[in-house]
């Protein structure tokens, strides 16, 4: 089962995102929990969310992915920035309960000179403070390209964050694998997908992999750049992307396109192409 969709704008509300997704035959989608540059969250209209829930339930969507703002940095050197991360995540997770059982994806953050170990300690510390055993959302750590002092460029770092979360809360923490990011981080998903997934399984455990970000990359493997390309227009290529979508260990996960499209129809065409290649007979 392929649940494929894309990042959508929430500016016209929740029901509107459901309608946008249906119009491009998406089976999931992602949206920002609030302005990606940070700031206060818009208040939720429960009737609007209820209409989205109705669409999602009726149309057999995969889980939805809510993306935290980019400015959220739980391992910043600045206490003010760390406090914003904590406050925003706590508030966002409370809002997630309007759409129960879905995913909240965030970038682990940049330690800006404090070191990876301290960064991991701070990220896990925030999770231990804001996660609640009764929440229905699963929080996802996104695999990162490892640019600058970014944490999450290595599977070991994500595993260490999960391990530092209290055992009774650890089930609330999963992983979202971004194909552009892991490629830029040096993992060879083009020539050795099985090897990369084996490594993921050994270090983190594939059962904790909950979502995929499907992007091509403008840069060669290991570049640590994080510049997304349209599928087939980058260094990963369409065949490798389709092998990922078809991989037996990755079935049923929501697959979110974050490619640089000018408009919704660009995503529509990408979804159509990938669905047909996914189903096709060709050996890739």
Total chain residues near Fe ion (CB under 5 A): 3
Contact range with Fe ion by CB under 5 A, out of 93-101, 142-150, 151-159, 261-269: 142-150
Minimum CB distance to Zn ion, residue 142 (Å): 8
**Nearest residue (beta carbon) to Zn ion:** 226
Minimum CB distance to Zn ion, residue 83 (Å): 25
Of 226, 236, 240, 253, the residue at the interface with Zn ion (CB under 5 A) is: 226
**Partner whose binding site includes residue 226, from Fe ion, Zn ion, none (CB under 5 to 8 Å by kind):** Zn ion
**Partner whose binding site includes residue 213, from Zn ion, Fe ion, none (CB under 5 to 8 Å by kind):** Fe ion
- Our CB check for Fe ion shows the closer of 15 and 209 to be 209
Minimum CB distance to Zn ion, residue 224 (Å): 12
Of 178, 184, 216, 226, the residue at the interface with Fe ion (CB under 5 A) is: 178
Minimum CB distance to Zn ion, residue 111 (Å): 18
Minimum CB distance to Fe ion, residue 215 (Å): 7
- Our CB check for Zn ion shows the closer of 14 and 32 to be 32
Contact range with Zn ion by CB under 5 A, out of 57-65, 127-135, 189-197, 226-234: 226-234
Total chain residues near Zn ion (CB under 5 A): 1
Strands 216-217 and 228-229, bridge-based pairing: antiparallel
DSSP the chain: --EEEEE---TT-HHHHHHHHHHTT-S-EEEESS-TT--PPPPP-HHHHHHHHHHHHHTT----EEEPPTT--TT-SSHHHHHHHHHHHHHHHHHHTTSTT-EEEE---B-TTS-HHHHHHHHHHHHHHH--TT--PEEEEEP----TTBS-SSHHHHHHHHHHS-TTTGGGEEEEEEHHHHHHTT--TTT-HHHHHHHHHHHT-GGGEEEEEE-EESS-TT-----EE-TTSSSS-HHHHHHHHH-GGGTT-EEEE----SSHHHHHHHHHHHHHHHHS----
Of 213, 234, 236, 271, the residue at the interface with Fe ion (CB under 5 A) is: 213
Residue 52: CA atoms inside 13 Å, Cβ hemisphere, count?
Answer: 22
**Partner whose binding site includes residue 208, from Fe ion, Zn ion, none (CB under 5 to 8 Å by kind):** none
- Which residues contribute to the site for Fe ion (CB under 5 A)? 142, 178, 213
Residues contributing to the site for Zn ion (CB under 5 A) = 226
């Amino acid at each position: 089962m392929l649940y494929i969709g894309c990042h959508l704008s929430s500016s016209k509300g929740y029901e509107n995102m459901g309608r946008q997704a249906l119009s491009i035959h998406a089976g999931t989608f992602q949206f920002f929990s609030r302005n990606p540059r940070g700031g206060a969250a818009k208040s939720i209209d429960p009737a609007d969310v209820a209409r989205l829930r109705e669409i999602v339930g009726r149309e057999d969507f995969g889980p939805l992915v809510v993306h935290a703002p980019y400015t959220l940095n739980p391992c910043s050197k600045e206490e003010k920035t760390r406090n914003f991360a904590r406050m925003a995540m706590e508030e966002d997770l409370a809002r997630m309960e309007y759409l129960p059982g879905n995913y909240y994806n965030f970038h682990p953050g940049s330690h800006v000179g404090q070191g990876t170990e301290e960064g991991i300690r701070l990220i896990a510390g925030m999770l231990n403070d804001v996660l609640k055993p009764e929440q229905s959302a699963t929080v996802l750590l996104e695999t990162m390209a490892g640019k600058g002092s970014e944490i999450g460029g290595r599977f070991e770092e994500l595993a260490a964050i999960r391990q530092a979360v209290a055992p009774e809360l650890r089930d609330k923490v999963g992983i979202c694998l971004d194909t552009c990011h892991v490629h830029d981080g040096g993992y060879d998903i083009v020539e050795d997908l099985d090897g990369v997934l084996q490594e993921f399984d050994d270090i983190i455990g594939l059962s904790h992999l909950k979502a995929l970000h499907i992007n091509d990359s403008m840069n060669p493997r290991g570049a640590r750049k994080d510049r997304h390309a349209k599928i087939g227009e980058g260094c990963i290529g369409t065949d490798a992307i389709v092998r990922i979508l078809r991989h037996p260990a990755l079935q049923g996960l929501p697959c979110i396109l974050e490619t640089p499209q000018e408009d919704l129809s660009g995503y529509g065409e990408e979804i159509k192409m990938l669905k047909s290649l996914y189903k096709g007979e060709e050996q890739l």
